[in-house]
Structure 1
Amino acid sequence: MSKYLPLSERLARETGDQWRPTLAEIEAVLGFPLPKAAQQAAWWGGASDKPHHRAWLDHGWRARDLDRAAGTVTFHRDPTAGQPPPPAEAPPVIEAHRGVGGMALIGAGVAVIAGVGLLAARLMKGRKA
């Protein structure tokens, strides 16, 4: 269970499309101080895999508009929050060329080893004569 669950529960009860608490109000909801990183906008946005981001994204909110001077952050209701981004289109794969680079490297390596082996055999033969 995330330590940000109280914030998540608070946002789940919110009926409006916007909530603009002070950072102190958020700390009161959480029951602990926010980390120093919360003074930066990047802490409120970014990767959705962070536990604090899940607190609002899971309930359809996005955190925006960090106002450091006023000590507030604004949460906006967003129906797409928490949903994974659409898959990126993968470049087409040309079946005939798949794996050719690796095979070429292996072939080249075998050829080098065989060549070195033949060269060593000839040098050894020359020493015996």
Structure 2
Amino acid sequence: MSKYSPLSDHLAQRAEDDWRASFAEIEMVLGASLPKAARQPAWWIGADKPHQKSWLDHGWRVSAVGEGMVSFKRTVAHEVQPPALKAAAETASTQAHVRQTAGIAAAVGGAIAVLAGLGLLAAKVIGGRKST
């Protein structure tokens, strides 16, 4: 979990497509102070720094920075999901993957059993020919 995960979570749960926040509001969301570098627009604008991924990965971009304020704008259509619903969807997806994997394993196990049976049958046939 990164230092900026609370900001990611906050943005992911917002129903609005715009959020203008003071540095103090962002620090409240983070539960920590922003670094001194955050006073510079370059800290917010771009996509190459790890902290920027905390909003970019959730479909947000910084649209303006100035006078101790940051404006975020949603870049993609988004439907807000309550955390419990999101967790339930992730659990269901994981369970479906486990069932699919178990099904594949069972099929492979069955195929191996068939091949082993054919191998035994072939050994008997070949062994029977040698003794006659």
Query: TM bucket by the smaller chain?
Result: 0.5 to 0.7
Deviation string 1:96-127 (CA, Å, 9 cap, x unpaired) is xxxxxxxxxxxxxxxxxxxxxxxxxxxxxxxx
- 1:30 corresponds to which letter in structure 2? L
Deviating 4+ runs (over 4 angstroms):
none
Q: 2:72 aligns with which of 66, 70, 75?
A: 75
Structure 2 residue runs without a partner (length 5+): 78-132
Shift of 1:61: 0.3
Q: Which residue of 2 aligns with 1:22?
A: 22
Shift of 1:52: 1.2
Shift of 1:7: 0.2
Q: Which residue of 2 aligns with 1:36?
A: 36
Q: State percent identity of aligned pairs.
A: 57
TM-score by length of 2: 0.55
Structure 2 matches for 1:30-69, cutoff 5 A? 30-46=30-46, 48-68=47-67
TM-score by length of 1: 0.56
Q: Which residue of 2 aligns with 1:95?
A: none
Structure 1 residue runs without a partner (length 5+): 81-129
Q: Which residue of 1 aligns with 2:11?
A: 11
Q: Distance in 2 between matches of 1:56 and 1:43?
A: 13
How many residues matched?
Answer: 77
Q: Distance in 2 between matches of 1:50 and 1:9?
A: 18
Q: Distance in 1 between matches of 2:4 and 2:50?
A: 7
Q: Distance in 2 between matches of 1:50 and 1:2?
A: 13
Q: Which has the higher helix share?
A: 2
Q: Distance in 2 between matches of 1:15 and 1:30?
A: 19
